[in-house]
Amino acid sequence: MSKVHVLRLPGQIGKTDMALGVAVVIDVLRATSSIVTALSSGSTGIIPAANREEALKLRESYPDSLLCGEEQSKIIPGFDLGNSPRDFTPENVQGKKLILTTSNGTKAILGAKAQGASAVFMCSFLNIDAVAKTVACEASRGDAPHDEASRKEKGVFVICSGSHGEFSLEDFVCAGALADRLANKGLALEESATEARHAYFQYRDDILQALHDSQHGKYLEAIGYGADLPYCARVSVTSIVPYLADHVIQEYAAAGH
């Protein structure tokens, strides 16, 4: 049976062998909420970049793409969009490829890929039930050439992107919400996942309160992005499941899975 692990700090990514396993990256405020929204709004794909310089270099290969991203949660000067999910509207992104760089989320996505995860999904509260369904299916499926037994041993790695390397309450609560759903689908929880699940139980009737209680939520409110909190606290408003297809983030179902 696949086992669910929660990595509460991004620093754990480089120390975790995810080969053959399934990785799920969470950055509630705000990268994975933005990625889910962008695909829901009709973006043709999102290319994650580690930093501003890498994003600008990628733009040379994708001249029609939009440059999106933040530094200290504010739009990078000269970029087309920042990292507020409310900016990823159909008017702004429909039919367009995006290049996205953020302080935490895109780094965690690239980190999970570098650690050999066989699949890298993106989760937020917005799409959590669809992610739980997809991940439970993927985790229970052997995959040639990797034999089923080795894949099952490797499990599911739920990664909290954190905030500049520090613990993030909102990501941990979301990881617990996902762990709860996966446990209810028959997956076993490693103790880090059990701990996250219990954190979720404290907030499950008021997810928005978890975002208000978080350090990053308070910071976003202080710099004028308070409206992102209720937006990102909505639970299962879309069935879109983003995954990293080679170097572009696309919708899993639309890719024929």
Of residues 7, 31, 189, 241, which one binds ligand MLT by CB under 6 A? Answer: 31
**What are the backbone dihedrals phi and psi of residue 27, each rounded to the nearest 5 degrees, phi first?**
-145, 80
Closest to ligand MLT by CB, 180 or 228? 228
Question: Is 27 a binder of ligand MLT (CB under 6 A)?
Answer: yes
For residue 77, give both structure tokens.
Answer: 């000067």
Q: Are 221 and 239 in contact (CB under 8 A)?
A: no
Strands (DSSP E) contained in 8-103 are 22-26, 45-49, 66-71, 74-75, 97-101
Taking the complex as a whole, the smallest distance from the CB of residue 142 to ligand MLT amounts, in Å, to: 34
Whichever of 167 and 188 has its CB closer to ligand MLT, that residue is 167
Residue (83 or 115) nearer to ligand MLT, CB: 83
- The H-or-E segment that residue 65 falls in is none
- Sites for ligand MLT among residues 175-214 (CB under 6 A): none
Nearer Cβ to ligand MLT (16/73): 73
N- to C-terminal Cα separation, the chain = 22
Per-residue tokens: 115? 């650690």
Residues 61 to 120 in contact with ligand MLT, rule: CB under 6 A: 70, 73, 83, 102-105
Rg of the Cα atoms in the chain: 17
Residue among 171 and 251 whose Cβ is closer to ligand MLT:
171
Residue 159 bridge partners (DSSP)? 7, 25
What is the binding site for ligand MLT (CB under 6 A)? 27, 29-31, 70, 73, 83, 102-105, 163, 216
